[in-house]
């Protein structure tokens, strides 16, 4: 069955860095665009970043542009999110998500999420 | 950026009620709209894609409609397990954007 498992969350001080990972299984990883979506405590969903199946195309939300970097290793079936210059407002549960099809960006499935807390 | 406005932000309903949630896009998105259900402490779950296509395994009491800028999620005969928060999402263009959510509570 299709599965996404995030890891790497934790507590980090403002200005520091953290790298999240998302291990995928149950589907042809190298065929799909992949996304990160976050949710601040008690708030709604915010799309963060996307990377194409071939790693060529990447887009970011304005709120994270120039601070976060999305990447993937198709040989390891793993998606990454490098988060630099973290701010308190980056505190959130971070989900990796796969599109429901290879051509349209609605999300199914989602991972279980990993919590990132940015605090001094 | 395309803004997605959901209404209401919350509602109270009883088991068996029919519930309607609306989502309006700030510009036309054809039918590139999805709906999700989220329960506390859990990841969102896909319900509807392409405005009206039911995701596999989702009960038929859920339905979606609309195109362009105005969309609706309807739950016929609300069940206890349907009390949750619902989000719409446009995937017409980047950045992908979500509505603010609608919390469906027990009356």
pLDDT at A103: 87
Residue A6 has pLDDT above 90, yes or no: yes
In angstroms, the CA B71 to CA B67 distance is 6
> Parallel, antiparallel, or unpaired: how do β-strands A45-51 and A68-73 relate?
unpaired
Chain B residues within 8 A of A45 when measuring between CB atoms: 36, 44, 87, 89, 98, 101
Chain B residues within 8 A of A68 when measuring between CB atoms: none
What is the arithmetic mean of pLDDT over B78-90? 97
Query: In chain A, where does DSSP find H-type helix?
Result: none
pLDDT level of residue A102 (50, 70, 90 thresholds): confident
pLDDT level of residue A65 (50, 70, 90 thresholds): very high
Mutation pick from B41, B43, B92 vs chain A, by most beta carbons of A within 10 Å, is B43
Which distant-in-sequence residues (6+ apart) come within 8 Å of A95 by Cβ? A6, A36, A37, A38, A39, A110, A111, A112, A113, B43, B44
What is the arithmetic mean of pLDDT over A25-42? 97
pLDDT at A44: 98
């Amino acid at each position: 069955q299709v599965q996404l498992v995030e890891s790497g969350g934790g507590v980090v001080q403002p200005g520091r860095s953290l790298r999240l990972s998302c291990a995928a299984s149950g589907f042809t990883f190298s065929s799909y665009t992949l996304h990160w979506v976050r949710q601040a405590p008690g708030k709604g969903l915010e799309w963060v970043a996307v990377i194409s199946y071939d790693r060529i195309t990447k887009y970011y939300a304005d709120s994270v542009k120039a601070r976060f970097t999305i990447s993937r290793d198709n040989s390891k079936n793993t998606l990454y999110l490098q988060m630099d210059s973290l701010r308190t407002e980056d505190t959130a549960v971070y989900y990796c998500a796969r599109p429901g099809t290879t051509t349209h960006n609605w999300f199914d499935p989602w991972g279980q999420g990993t919590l990132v807390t940015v605090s001094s | 950026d395309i803004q997605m406005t959901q209404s209401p932000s919350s509602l109270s309903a009883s088991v068996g009620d029919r519930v309607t949630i609306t989502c309006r896009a700030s510009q036309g998105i054809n039918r590139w709209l999805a709906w999700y259900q989220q329960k506390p402490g859990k990841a969102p779950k896909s319900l509807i894609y392409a405005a009206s296509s039911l995701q596999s395994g989702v009960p038929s009491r859920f339905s979606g409609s609309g195109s362009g800028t105005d969309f609706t999620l309807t739950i016929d005969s609300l069940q206890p397990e349907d009390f949750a928060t619902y989000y719409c999402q446009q995937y017409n263009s980047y950045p992908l954007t979500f509505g603010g959510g609608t919390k469906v509570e027990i009356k």
